[in-house]
């Protein structure tokens, strides 16, 4: 990606990049609070839907040694770690 961005900049093309790290960003927030704040920021709906999908529709599993449990959708809270 960097090569593409540098090439575009060298050609005078405007490059916009949004880099988002969710690490610990939402430890004490609910998805409703996050959604309200994203809408208030005026982000495009497609971005809001993408972030909402990431926060609300994620799966969790447990690994002990080499045994991995089935994945279970956990939509009641924010993803952790």
Helix or strand run (H / E) with residue 60: strand 58-60
Percent of the chain whose predicted confidence (pLDDT) is above 70:
75
Whole-angstrom Cα distance, residue 27 to residue 5? 32
- What's this model's pTM, rounded to 2 decimal places? 0.44
Confidence of residue 75 (pLDDT cuts 50, 70, 90): low
Q: What is the mean pLDDT of residues 44-58?
A: 80
Quote the pLDDT of residue 24: 64
How far is residue 3 from each of residues 7, 8, 11, 63, measured CA to CA in Å? 6, 9, 12, 37
Give the separation between CA 34 and CA 26, rounded to whole angstroms: 8
**How sure is the predictor about 59, in pLDDT bands with cuts at 50, 70 and 90?**
confident
Domain positions in the chain:
2-74
Q: What percent of the chain has pLDDT over 90?
A: 21
Spatial separation of the C-alpha atoms in residues 80 and 67, rounded to whole Å: 21
């Amino acid at each position: 990606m960097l090569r593409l961005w540098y090439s575009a900049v060298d050609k005078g093309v405007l490059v916009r990049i949004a880099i988002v790290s969710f690490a610990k960003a939402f430890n004490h927030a609910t998805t409703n609070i996050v959604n309200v704040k994203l809408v208030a920021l005026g982000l495009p709906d497609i971005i809001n839907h993408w972030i909402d999908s990431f926060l609300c529709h994620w799966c969790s599993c447990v690994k002990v040694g080499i045994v991995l449990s089935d994945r279970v959708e956990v939509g009641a809270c924010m993803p952790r770690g």
